[in-house]
Structure 1
Amino acid sequence: MKTNLAQHLTAFLREHLPRERNASPHTVAAYAHCFTLLLKFAAQKIARRPSDLSIEDLDCDLVLAFLEHVEHERGNVGRTRNARLAAIRAFFRYIEYRVPACLEQALRIRSLPAKRSDSRLIDHLSRDEIESLLAAPDIRTKGGIRDRAMLHLTYAAGLRVSELLSLRLTDFPERSLATIRILGKGRRERVLPLWQETRTVLRAWIVIRPQAKAPELFLNRNADPMTRDGFAHRLAKHVETASKKQPSLTNKRVTPHVLRHSCAMHTLAATGDVRKVALWLGHASIQSTETYLRADPAEKLAVLSAHSPPSVKAGKFRAPTDGLLAALSEIRNAT
């Protein structure tokens, strides 16, 4: 007899993660999103409703097919693919002790390797591109006022999209907009000051924000909390508008996280201190912030100006005569 998936997955997300693992709401939401994608994929493959799926249906072959789907059909990068796998592994680690009959299946899925990916330079926008984007929303409409506030706050505070969408009015101490309290990744809190311009656009949205049961700061047209897809859709619309004034935006893939990257790059340029960038973004380790140093050409120019080019004499290359060495050389050059 197969084991029903729904009850165990619900307990994993609603009880195990927040209560036993003390996972943050951002982590729970990310895991729930992963399993939403997985169950839709599995239901289509098996021709069964998601609520009728069993744990045994999520075998290694299906999980691997889902990860291929995530990477190639949905166009996600390797890190996103690995994050999906991490969520699935965590669930089957939970299953090991609750469903002994699925122990072998759980061990197999937990042994699936993460995919190595290239460590590429981050994407970010220039100051002119940011200014054009922030000016793109039509502030004659309620949606435009809300979108302008979301864009300003995401960029000014360097927020992750999960941090932005989970913000509440109570996250502004004593209802003042001078600072904002953010609960970030890993349940790490940080308090950031806000620019006067950011406070102005936030205040304009709060004044017209609909009265709703939802405590979140940003709401959609139905007075429900703004979703990731909703924010990404609004961002894409404003990027299209901004690209008419800044054609360089046409060739860039602007996601919500690119606004966070842009904040980090501009903060690094202004301060020259990667530690301050780490504090602003809420990184647990400064190693996470060093990626911005790799993307900053000023750091390379400083190294270049500090050294004179070496004078290297031309030499002669002698090909290996040994057969094995020649074969190894051929393989090395082929890669």
Structure 2
Amino acid sequence: MTALALHLGAYLLEHLPRDRGASRHTVDSYAYTFQMLVGFAARRLRVLPCEIEIEQLGADMILDFLEYIEAKRANTPRTRNARLAAIKSFFRFLEYRAPACLNVALQVQAIRSKRIEQPLVDYLTRPELQALLDAPDRRTASGVRDRAMLHLAYACGLRVSELTGLQLDDVELPAANSIHVVGKGRRERVLPLWKETQAVLKDWLRIRPDSRSGTVFLNCRGQAITRHGFASRLTVHIGTAQRSAPSLARKRVTPHVLRHTCAIHTLQATGDIRRVALWLGHSSVVSTEIYLRIDPAEKLDILDAGAPPLIKKGTFTGVSDRLLAMLATARGA
């Protein structure tokens, strides 16, 4: 039997950050998955978490755990699949790290992800977006900070982890005309800023309090603002923006919706999905194709931007009479 603790520690603390180059956010997410799995398995097996052995985490245990997080923790199929992906990654690591567990690893690898629906992408219209950007109170420090965060999140199509992890060294000072972003999979990109975005960012940097943290955006305690902190501030400003844009009340606006909004508006402006992929930092255009799943009216606007190809009506020629005669004979046979 093979103890879980030693191999799991090596996977999370060494393999992911050192060998795979995983971000801190990815490591945290994977660690949380195994925190839930180990707790579930310990209760099921009636042992201490440190006593769990890898062979006890077979396909049946993993399937029961996945059913548990859906039924008891109300996780969506998408979240369920993300947890399964983390577990499968660990068992792939075990294939060469602990060959004795190969049979269990192959069983876990065979677990299928759940099929999920692909809904239309949520995004904000331009009036809704403008109402949101105007919502923060510019007379307060928190309002100036929030306005800068909202502008950057939209204009650059940033993931929330990219926004909250942005460092002062990533901003091209003193002009603040571009930012350097380290995104998912350690992919880097440099994004130019609109003049309006430059202005609101410099407004915040002028009043940003001194802090040991090198992050651009700080909370009221002088520490780096968290993903949940930004989501909370976004909810507050959505409530304010609803007064001038009532349609926002019918939408669930999360930080990622601002990234979707940037993508849709860029696609509408350029009609080129490849430019959207480059701006968002996608590794493949395949990831960007979800933004083609927008309302039919929007698709028609994109199609109208280009002229359809002119194709002449063709004729069916070059077939011998003997062939036609044979076909006619075959039909009558």
What TM-score do you get using the length of structure 1 for normalisation? 0.79
Residue type at the aligned position of 1:144:
G
Distance in 2, Cα, partners of 1:130 & 1:57: 51
Residue 152 of structure 1 is matched in structure 2 by 151
Residue type at the aligned position of 2:255:
P
- 1:121-145 Cα deviation digits (max 9, x unpaired): 1111111111111122223333222
- 1:83-121 Cα deviation digits (max 9, x unpaired): 221111111222333344544333322221111112221
1:49-198, aligned counterparts within 5 Å? 55=54, 58-71=57-70, 76-198=75-197
Residue type at the aligned position of 2:298:
A
Q: Which runs of 5+ in 1 are unaligned?
A: 307-335
Distance in 1, Cα, partners of 2:201 & 2:52: 44
Please state whether the residue corresponding to 2:180 is helix, strand or coil: strand
Distance in 2, Cα, partners of 1:286 & 1:19: 28
| Alpha-carbon spacing, 1:97–1:50, altered in 2? closer, same or farther (3 Å) | same
Distance in 1, Cα, partners of 2:111 & 2:172: 45
Residue 227 of structure 1 is matched in structure 2 by 226
Distance in 1, Cα, partners of 2:189 & 2:141: 30
> RMSD of the alignment, in Å?
2.9
Q: In the alignment, is the contact (CA less than 8 A) between 2:157 and 2:280 conserved in 1?
A: yes
Percent of matched pairs sharing the same residue: 54
- 1:275-326 Cα deviation digits (max 9, x unpaired): 22111111222222222222153323676997xxxxxxxxxxxxxxxxxxxx
| Alpha-carbon spacing, 1:301–1:156, altered in 2? closer, same or farther (3 Å) | closer
| Alpha-carbon spacing, 1:120–1:227, altered in 2? closer, same or farther (3 Å) | same
Residue 202 of structure 2 is matched in structure 1 by 203
Q: In the alignment, is the contact (CA less than 8 A) between 2:271 and 2:302 conserved in 1?
A: no
| Alpha-carbon spacing, 1:183–1:135, altered in 2? closer, same or farther (3 Å) | same
Residue 300 of structure 1 is matched in structure 2 by 300
Residue type at the aligned position of 2:165:
S
Please state whether the residue corresponding to 2:143 is helix, strand or coil: helix
What TM-score do you get using the length of structure 2 for normalisation? 0.79
| Alpha-carbon spacing, 1:256–1:16, altered in 2? closer, same or farther (3 Å) | same
1:24-43, aligned counterparts within 5 Å? 24-39=23-38
Distance in 2, Cα, partners of 1:40 & 1:246: 45
Residue 277 of structure 1 is matched in structure 2 by 276
More off after superposition, 270-279 vs 163-172: 270-279
Deviation at 1:177, TM superposition (A): 0.9
Deviation at 1:26, TM superposition (A): 4.5
Q: In the alignment, is the contact (CA less than 8 A) between 1:172 and 1:180 conserved in 2?
A: yes
| Alpha-carbon spacing, 1:253–1:204, altered in 2? closer, same or farther (3 Å) | same
Q: In the alignment, is the contact (CA less than 8 A) between 1:169 and 1:175 conserved in 2?
A: no
Please state whether the residue corresponding to 1:136 is helix, strand or coil: coil
The count of corresponding residues between Structure 1 and Structure 2 is 305
| Alpha-carbon spacing, 1:299–1:180, altered in 2? closer, same or farther (3 Å) | same
| Alpha-carbon spacing, 1:204–1:39, altered in 2? closer, same or farther (3 Å) | farther
Q: In the alignment, is the contact (CA less than 8 A) between 1:26 and 1:185 conserved in 2?
A: no
Name the larger-Rg structure: 2
| Alpha-carbon spacing, 1:301–1:218, altered in 2? closer, same or farther (3 Å) | closer
Q: Which runs of 5+ in 2 are unaligned?
A: 309-333
Please state whether the residue corresponding to 1:264 is helix, strand or coil: helix
- 1:51-92 Cα deviation digits (max 9, x unpaired): 776646644444334434544555554333222211111112
Deviation at 1:246, TM superposition (A): 1.6
Distance in 2, Cα, partners of 1:142 & 1:205: 8
More off after superposition, 67-76 vs 78-87: 67-76
Distance in 2, Cα, partners of 1:280 & 1:212: 31
